[in-house]
Structure 1
Amino acid sequence: MRSYKDVANYARYLGLFLTLSTIVLTGCAEYESSGGWQSTATAPTTIPRSNYSYYDSHREATVLDAVLVNAIAQIGKPYVWGGESRHHGFDCSGLIQYVLNEAGVTVPRTARAQALALPAVSFSRIRKGDLVFFDTMGAPYTHVGIYIGGDQFVSALNRHAGITVQSLHNPYWAQRLDGIRRPMPPELLAMQSLDDHVLNQ
């Protein structure tokens, strides 16, 4: 059985060999109660504030590690529009919901809702396991991936590439980076809310 280090190295080397010059995003899907899956192309009505209090806890580190390991484990699986299954494939936000759920973090189904549900962090404070969001369709938070270190992230890209590793240094992604969010379990989100309430009194 390969160690975590071997898997991480595999992901890093895989990213170096990916061709990024001809990216054509299929995009994330949102489920509409009136008619199935469609593209996320509307802007959010609110933007999360960026001042996030950091809880350097064992629980938070454990969650981020679990997100990282589960994300790497999905590399090579197929992209499926509206997909949310490790057996059949994922779209971008379906991958996030599955991976975070495995780590004990519950998030909404769509990329935009996921961005609005989690605390923002600055790029200078990014950690492995954080979520990276992109504006790929002229609207905020229309694509999402999971940061794995070395300025690389895993995401469900399109039907051709599947679940793959991409580089934040690629101009396509660098120009469209929309924000970073920290996956947090309910108890840490509650701690943050309590802290915010006390600070605002």
Structure 2
Amino acid sequence: MFAKNPLQLGGIALLLGALTLNGCASMAPSTALPPSAPYPPPAQNSGYSRRAEATTLDAVLVHAISEIGKAYRWGGESPQTGFDCSGLIQYVLEQSGVDIPRTSFAQAAALPAVPLSRIRPGDLVFFNTMGQPFSHVGIYIGGQQFVSALNRRQGVAVQSLQIPYWAERLDGVRRPMPRELLAMRDE
């Protein structure tokens, strides 16, 4: 039997929504993802700016939160018509000054990997939702929560990384950074 407590029903609906995830518009190629550059600590005097990185992550966070409640649309990439998961990421990062490819697979390949122990609000979280690595992406907002474009019923919504569906499918974390910061990091 289902619980009569509205909070328990909401949790059940959240879980069912996660289980009916539609996925991103473009599927990953069948080849393995090329390893992204790991996220090393910056070298001293490299010109790398932690402040600029923090500013970028803050901008990503603000823009992601502003899209909550927008419609889901497979292949969508605008707040007017709706988003799929990677379209939401591309739009939010563009608003934050970060150029990124369109598909979740390519997005994961383009950005440096971050250990889960170093995740920060504004980082991207990637999931294997369709039997292919990096087939879904969201933006971490803190408190074990992330924002992503889920499906037509839920649209752009907040989910918990602690829901077993998501916890079991987490592929990794990437840090969005403008090209100039990525270049300085490699100097």
Same topology, TM > 0.5: yes
Structure 2: distance between partners of 1:164 and 1:155: 6
Tell me what 1:24 maps to.
Answer: 20
Tell whether 2:36 aligns with 1:48.
yes
Per the alignment, in what secondary structure is the counterpart of residue 15 of structure 2?
coil
Q: Using the aligned pairs only, state the percent identity.
A: 61
Structure 1: distance between partners of 2:63 and 2:158: 14
Per the alignment, in what secondary structure is the counterpart of residue 29 of structure 1?
coil
Select the residue among 172, 182, 185 that pairs with 2:178.
185
- Which sections of structure 2, spanning at least 5 residues, go unmatched? 1-9, 43-47
Tell me what 2:69 maps to.
Answer: 76
Structure 2: distance between partners of 1:45 and 1:63: 25
- Which sections of structure 1, spanning at least 5 residues, go unmatched? 1-16, 31-38, 195-201
Per the alignment, in what secondary structure is the counterpart of residue 133 of structure 1?
strand
Deviation of 1:51 after TM superposition, in Å, equals 4.6
Taking CA–CA contacts closer than 8 Å with sequence separation of 6 or more, which of the two structures ends up with the larger relative contact order?
A: 2
Structure 1: distance between partners of 2:147 and 2:31: 24
Tell me what 1:127 maps to.
Answer: 120
Per the alignment, in what secondary structure is the counterpart of residue 186 of structure 2?
helix
What TM-score, normalized to structure 2?
A: 0.86
Shift in alpha-carbon separation, 1:133–1:151, aligned structure 2, 3 A = same
Per the alignment, in what secondary structure is the counterpart of residue 27 of structure 1?
coil
Deviation of 1:150 after TM superposition, in Å, equals 0.2
8 Å Cα contact 1:29-1:81 kept in structure 2? yes
> How is 1:51-62 mapped onto 2 (pairs within 5 angstroms)?
51-54=39-42, 57-62=50-55
What TM-score, normalized to structure 1?
A: 0.80
Structure 1: distance between partners of 2:143 and 2:153: 24
Deviation of 1:73 after TM superposition, in Å, equals 0.3
Structure 2: distance between partners of 1:193 and 1:96: 24
Structure 1: distance between partners of 2:72 and 2:59: 22
Structure 1: distance between partners of 2:39 and 2:52: 21
Count of equivalent residues = 170
Per the alignment, in what secondary structure is the counterpart of residue 177 of structure 2?
coil
8 Å Cα contact 1:128-1:149 kept in structure 2? yes
Select the residue among 85, 89, 100 that pairs with 1:92.
85
Per the alignment, in what secondary structure is the counterpart of residue 175 of structure 1?
helix
